[in-house]
Structure 1
Amino acid sequence: MQVPSPDYTLTLAPNQWLPLPQKHFREATDGSESTVETNVQLSYDEEYLLIDFECPDNPYWQQNTYTEHNTELWRQEVFEVFIATGPDTPTRYLELEINPNNALFVGWIHNPTKEGDAITLDMVPYEQAGIAHEVRTSPGSWKGRISIPRRLIGDPQSTTYRLNFYRILLLEKPTTPDWEGTPDTCSYLCWSPTLSGATPRFHRPDSFGTLVLGE
């Protein structure tokens, strides 16, 4: 069922922090609002776009086993950012993922159909990405910061971006250490919901919000 869509346009002044007004992400499938908060705020300067995030109500974060960068982090719990320069809906965008172990995934996605059914991936070597990142954990919660070089996203002089934020949240304790998330065991949450139907899908860039960097 379609839900009324809030305004997913953000205007960000330099060197100031702007919290997302939506503190409850929505299910990718039907856009229903999660009862769990996800708190995100953004800032920028001449070189970096900075994203602070907090994932409370996350009781099983210690069950995440991926520790190596640029591995298949999306199979377990992650916080994700998809972003591209320009005002148009992109078919090529940067995908960033970070997990509670501070492992980072960086890759360029080519999504010609905008439906995620014909994706190709170009990994960005971790050492070349230039992304500073940190994670802090506490019982039942984790949070962190990602500092993304604007040159990595595209033209560093760009003042308009299309982007979305995502979170995969484990709902029950897994029975094996090599677990993988499924729609039965995890919530697949979006800042701007992708409304993908029965199967949760994040790679639907028509749902991306807009970020405008102001003066």
Structure 2
Amino acid sequence: MQLFSILACLTAVVLASPADKTSSKLPRVDVPRCPRTEKISYSQTIPDKKPFPRTAVELCWDKSTLHLAFSAFEEKHFHFNASQGTNDDIWEYSVMEAFIHHGTNDPQTYLEFEVNPNNVTYQAFIYNPSKVRAPDAPFDHFFVSDPLTDGITATTKLNRRRQTWVSKVQIPLGLFNVDEPRGTRWRMNFFRTITSPSTFPDQELGGWSSPDEASFHKTPFFGHVRFV
């Protein structure tokens, strides 16, 4: 009996994967139908969880659209590259980001959306079969090349005196084959990158559900979202 107990314990240890341990600690949020909203916020760096400028995201949904309102506080530089346009590498500079997947699993594919202080956007579906962007695994992206025509919109306002910028974003639920939003479950994560002219290309990273290293593409860390 003693040997059996030891073997059972060892088996339980083997079967408890890192993803299982991560899942129990993930943030969860219920998102209401517009005009009501739910707000999430974060103020810690990735991955060491040191103080980070406060960042908030308000979420709500209607029959056809996910509405996001990003708010960046304590912004000193509003740093962007004015020569960049839609789907350029705006992530090299200051941006706010949403990673979105319809479903409850740790996703291999998901939408990456970004917006910068110049109201330039980046939107691509990511293929990440390792779920952690492993260096020896495939990793690819497929741009939404005409976001305005497809219904992805963003409006950004800066307040340099108050050191804030706000981006209001609409993302069509049809991109995720969702016809009836109420009751749907999602995996999402939200991030902010801060750069400055004097320190570029160094970046300061913050996020809602912080990964264990400075990589946003680790889907076991995506939080749980439910439309109610």
**TM-score bracket for the superposition, by shorter chain length:** 0.7 to 0.9
SS in 2 for 1:38: strand
RMSD across aligned positions (CA): 2.2
CA deviation after TM superposition for structure 1 residue 187, in Å: 1.0
TM-score, reference length from structure 2: 0.80
Return the match for 2:204 from 161, 179, 187: 187
- String of CA shifts for 1:100-157, please: whole Å, max 9, x gaps: 0000111000001111233101111124431121000011221111111111133333
Distance in 2, Cα, partners of 1:62 & 1:156: 38
CA deviation after TM superposition for structure 1 residue 33, in Å: 4.2
Q: Which residue of 1 aligns with 2:33?
A: 14
Q: Which residue of 1 aligns with 2:3?
A: none
Q: Which residue of 1 aligns with 2:185?
A: 160
- Residue-pair matches, total: 198
Alignment of 1:100-179 (within 5 A): 100-117=117-134, 118-126=138-146, 127-139=148-160, 140-157=163-180, 159-170=184-195, 172-174=196-198, 179=200
5+ residue gaps, structure 2: 1-21
Contact 1:9–1:211 (CA under 8 A) maintained in structure 2: yes
SS in 2 for 1:89: coil
Specify which structure has the higher proportion of helix.
Answer: 2
Residue type at the aligned position of 2:144: V
Q: Bigger CA drift: 5-14 or 68-77? A: 5-14
Q: Which residue of 1 aligns with 2:60?
A: 43
Q: Is the alpha carbon distance of 1:57 and 1:149 closer, same or farther for their aligned partners in structure 2, counting shifts above 3 Å?
A: same
Residue type at the aligned position of 1:202: F
Q: Is the alpha carbon distance of 1:19 and 1:61 closer, same or farther for their aligned partners in structure 2, counting shifts above 3 Å?
A: same
Q: Which residue of 1 aligns with 2:10?
A: none
Residue type at the aligned position of 2:139: I
Distance in 2, Cα, partners of 1:36 & 1:123: 30
TM-score, reference length from structure 1: 0.84
Distance in 2, Cα, partners of 1:35 & 1:94: 25
